[in-house]
Amino acid sequence: MKALLVGVGGVGEAIAVIAKPRPWVKQIVLSDYNLERAKEVQAKLGDHERFPVEWIDANERDQIINLAKKYKVDLIMNACDPSFNEPIFDAAFEYGCNYMDMAMTLSSPHPEEPFKKTGVKLGDYQFERANAWEKKGILALLGLGVEPGMADVFARYAQDYLFDEIEEIGVRDGANLEVRGFEFAPNFSIWTTIEECLNPPVIWEKDKGWFTTEPFSEPEIFEFPEGIGKVECVNVEHEEVLLVPRWIKCKRVTFKYGLGDQFIGVLKTIKMLGLDNKNLIKVKDVMVAPRDVVAACLPDPAHLGDRMFGKTCAGTWVKGIKDGKPRQVYIYQVADNEECMKKFGCQAVVAQTGFNAVIGWDLLEHGIWKATGVLGPEAFDPVPFMEKMKDYGFPYGIREM
């Protein structure tokens, strides 16, 4: 496989590092707007021919197409913030190769009732083009990171093997990670975090379809495994809620994230001050997006690994009926930051995200997952994916509840 990796931030680096030992990965083109960052990752990988570096503006579809042609790639991997999804997605279609991302095209709130009704939903842009992708005989595999991605694979596994009827599927994410030396230091892209946490969260119910609620709604205490313990989780907008109901039979789907009071307070302040705005505004003689300024003021998550301590857990809680009896399970993966740093030189959150994309490459390259069109991870057999998780250094667990 030859892949064009668009975006070489923390997750992009993790993808390249995790893919490097795999002999079937013939070449990964490291492309980024920040050329020095791409060169930094290239130096870490130590193979300039197999990991060439290219400057790219991910907003420019033609640039992406030209790079894909130059290297004759088989797949375009989108590891950028989701604001770039449309041009990267469209470039892959125009060039005519498979496409993969870890977050779908962005939503827009309902103009009149944003906390009750959906407007443009996550992924609508992509799913509207599914027929064209299918006719062209190529695949856009959406949302194959950890959440969405691995969590969606777990949902399909629960349907196929663990339940006769499913009442609710709830993705639950929590951690006891600590970043030392900073008063506030998100361990993932703050741009993406602002987007998903301040947008109206989406919930799906069989009788209502998709609807929205207030940010940080429906708080609950969820107990995470392997020493993380009880964490308060709240509703957050996330792709799983838009993906799972398309393929999994159930009655309700939610996504809840353990943010913590401090993080929620910071996000509310950012919103109150208008610093969540992703549109350009004029500051003296310069046009800047306030959200980009926030991101520039915070430490880069890709360089926080040696200051991070603890574990992060991603997983899928499922409630339903098996053999006539009520059942609840939590299918999960726990990543320890110290272990991730030793194995990959990448912090836990980005490593736990990146490995899923590489497993997806593996399954596509070897013809285990075969499809055309625009699909989510739920559309595929979950067993081959889950069997590979341990081999990639991220074993899963199942806890009866």
Residue range 155-163: mean pLDDT, rounded: 98
C-alpha to C-alpha distances, 390 to 266, 283, 394, nearest whole angstrom: 36, 50, 5
Q: Give which of 319, 180, 152 is closest to 247, Cα–Cα.
A: 152
Residues 6+ apart with CB under 8 A from 28: 2, 3, 5, 15, 16, 19, 50, 51
Structural fold of domain 2-101: Rossmann fold (3.40.50)
Q: How far apart are CA 370 and CA 364, in angstroms?
A: 6
Domain spans of the chain, in order of start: 2-101, 150-346
When pLDDT is averaged across residues 81-96 and rounded to a whole number, the result is: 97
**2-101 against 150-346: fold identical:** no
Tell me, what's the pLDDT at 387?
98
CB atoms within 10 A of CB 391: 10
Write down the pLDDT at residue 183: 77
- Report the alpha-carbon distance of residue 220 to residue 231 in Å, rounded: 8
Q: Is the pLDDT of residue 349 over 80?
A: yes
Span 362-383, pLDDT tens digits: 999 999 999 999 999 999 999 9
Structure confidence at residue 116 (pLDDT): 97
Q: Half-sphere exposure of 178 toward its Cβ, with a 13 Å CA cutoff?
A: 5
Q: To 5 degrees, how large is the angle CA 207–CA 209–CA 211?
A: 120
Q: What does each C-alpha distance from 45 to 19, 77, 86, 90, 192 come to in angstroms?
A: 10, 18, 29, 29, 26
Q: What is the pLDDT of residues 277-317, one digit of tens each?
A: 988 999 989 999 999 898 888 888 878 888 889 999 999 99
Task: Give 22-51 pLDDT, tens digit per residue.
Answer: 999 999 999 999 999 999 999 999 999 999
Whether omega before 148 lies within 30 degrees of 0, making that bond cis, reads yes
Q: pLDDT (tens digit, 9 = 90+) per residue, 273-287?
A: 999 898 899 998 999
Q: Rounded to 5 degrees, what are φ and ψ at 23?
A: -65, -25
pLDDT confidence of residue 169: 98
* pLDDT number for residue 232: 94
Phi, psi of 399 (to 5 degrees): -120, 125
Q: Average pLDDT of 62-81?
A: 97
- Backbone dihedral angles phi then psi of residue 46, each to the nearest 5 degrees: 75, 20
Spatial separation of the C-alpha atoms in residues 212 and 28, rounded to whole Å: 39
What are phi and psi for residue 245, nearest 5 degrees? Answer: -65, -15
pLDDT in tens, 167-220: 999 999 999 998 888 878 777 778 888 888 889 999 999 999 999 999 999 999
Residue 151: which pLDDT band, with cuts at 50, 70 and 90?
very high
The span from the CA of 289 to the CA of 285, in Å, is 13
Residue 311 is encoded by which pair of tokens?
Answer: 């574990």
Total-model pTM: 0.94
Backbone φ, ψ for residue 276 (5° rounding): -85, -5
CATH of domain 150-346: 3.30.360.10
Amino acid identity, position 366: H
